[in-house]
Structure 1
């Protein structure tokens, strides 16, 4: 018996094949040389045709996507693999949040489009479903849904990449795990902590003095003593009265905020009006994963989120 994941990707390949057959009969697409879909008007045209290239193992966003080759330039007009990897790496944490079952399918259809003769874009409703499921997660980290993925630029009445439309309105939560506020994901896994760190502008070790509810947010008042790990754009004068907000986190569970006696690795970033909590992990030196993450922080090169989420 085939596993559910094998069946899932078999359906994707079947859908892409059908889309290709339809596209070959359609006059709405330009030839592959200098192609550019009329509905996608965000950038430049190409002077050379896209080439089929192998999907590299370090393109983490599309790891296990179900096919081995992609078009380059891609549908987001990235012309080099280095650019694709740099931009795509910023989206890996969102896929890990399981905010929608088709997040990887949608993103990889753009970052690493399947290698077929003519480009096929994701359907508009697929974009809208992923956006509606994932934008609240992104907002919790202080990032808006980016203009480069504005859903009204994608096709809705022509050939496009689609999945099971009946499932797109559901926000899927990790199997066997209760839902928690996104910054409070307490998995002591190195990659999870590094993802939180990279989505943050500053990080430090501290205790929490008090937690209050303020409208739909939670307000964290910190102890004065802090050990900085990543200063970012913070200044020393900011540290003394620093207050963090758990965005839209008034009612969602956050185990770390139930025990204020512990030391925590606290991460955050500044928005226009507030300092947001983007990650919080118990300071646990007995955890091998935690110690590994703290050690890697010194040399770890983060993707540049600001270049992507505009």
Structure 2
């Protein structure tokens, strides 16, 4: 059964509105799945975060292709406002965009299910939130990856805000079925990125600074990995928060990365494409690629950087 249909079944079979509403939802189920003629719903959310009532009547809209976080989540329609109080699609896209890189890290099989249940909730007559156990499972697996980039698990996703497991919340999809769960990479997260144009541009927009440079030395320091830049001239592709004195004695860190593999750092003879963020006065490495002159993907990305206008992401995870 498709994920979207699971949620629909969950909603109408155990609804608190009783058997009459359940029968009504059952009779409309095929239409809700397609949802073409049901553009508006009459409910008003009793958002459990703050008891807020939305000013706009909730809509059922297509999940757009450029909402990359949720476009392939398993259902085609979502509600606005969503469950994070975003009332317009541009706002949803802006806020959701900063979470796309986390999916690529495969820290938990249910990461997309959890995030999209909030950013792009399925169209139903009432809000259905993720279960607390789903939040806790994703948090416990993904928070360490986020911390590598200098981001804590955000308060807006605090798991104690979500309902204790029952029939009216979205449970884990892969609980007890480890065979279907994608493998979790043990590679240092900044080192585990494909040299693809889209991937490079996502990290470019999410980074405070981007450089072409050489690395002189790599050390371990208090559980982190410390990258000391060579004194040779560095090419600045995005300066951001970097000052001239930062560039002169540039030191980068991979948080909690002292012992994880990073194949790019096994041979320091080449130039590197370095992307990073400044967090608490430290420069953290977000992504590293060897500078491959033959790579068409890299060439296109570097050319694209000159004219690309990055969205103003909300800084949760980037």
TM-score computed with the length of structure 2 as normaliser: 0.85
Query: Partners in 2 of 1:293 and 1:171 — Cα distance?
Result: 34
1:229 pairs, out of 233, 237, 241, with: 237
Q: Does 1:275 align with 2:283?
A: yes
Q: Give the Å deviation of 1:164.
A: 3.6
Query: Partners in 1 of 2:132 and 2:188 — Cα distance?
Result: 28
2:161 pairs, out of 148, 153, 160, with: 153
Q: Give the Å deviation of 1:305.
A: 3.8
Given that 2:213 and 2:235 are in contact with CA atoms closer than 8 Å, whether structure 1 keeps it comes out as yes
Alignment match, 2:191:
184
Query: Partners in 1 of 2:204 and 2:211 — Cα distance?
Result: 10
Unaligned stretches of 5+ residues in structure 1: 1-6
Instruction: Tell me the secondary structure at the aligned position of residue 61 of structure 1.
Output: coil
Alignment match, 1:4:
none
What are the equivalent positions in structure 2 for 1:62-141 lying under 5 Å apart?
Answer: 62-141=70-149
Given that 2:131 and 2:170 are in contact with CA atoms closer than 8 Å, whether structure 1 keeps it comes out as yes
Alignment match, 1:14:
6
Query: Partners in 1 of 2:172 and 2:256 — Cα distance?
Result: 30
2:303 pairs, out of 280, 295, 305, with: 295
Given that 2:110 and 2:174 are in contact with CA atoms closer than 8 Å, whether structure 1 keeps it comes out as no
Q: Does 1:36 align with 2:46?
A: yes
Instruction: Tell me the secondary structure at the aligned position of residue 114 of structure 1.
Output: coil
Alignment match, 1:249:
257
Unaligned stretches of 5+ residues in structure 2: 19-40
Instruction: Tell me the secondary structure at the aligned position of residue 164 of structure 2.
Output: coil
1:218 pairs, out of 213, 222, 225, with: 225
Q: Give the Å deviation of 1:306.
A: 4.2
Q: Give the Å deviation of 1:157.
A: 4.2
Q: Does 1:61 align with 2:69?
A: yes
- The structure-2 alpha-carbon separation of the partners of 1:66 and 1:169, relative to structure 1 and needing over 3 Å to count, comes to closer
TM-score computed with the length of structure 1 as normaliser: 0.87
- 1:218-259 Cα offsets, whole Å, 9 max, x none, are 111111221111000111122111111111111111011110
Q: How many residues align?
A: 294
Query: Partners in 2 of 1:250 and 1:71 — Cα distance?
Result: 43
Q: Give the Å deviation of 1:173.
A: 5.4
Query: Partners in 2 of 1:258 and 1:57 — Cα distance?
Result: 38
- 1:171-216 Cα offsets, whole Å, 9 max, x none, are 96558xx631110124211122222222310011111000011111
- The structure-2 alpha-carbon separation of the partners of 1:215 and 1:307, relative to structure 1 and needing over 3 Å to count, comes to closer
Given that 1:20 and 1:118 are in contact with CA atoms closer than 8 Å, whether structure 2 keeps it comes out as no
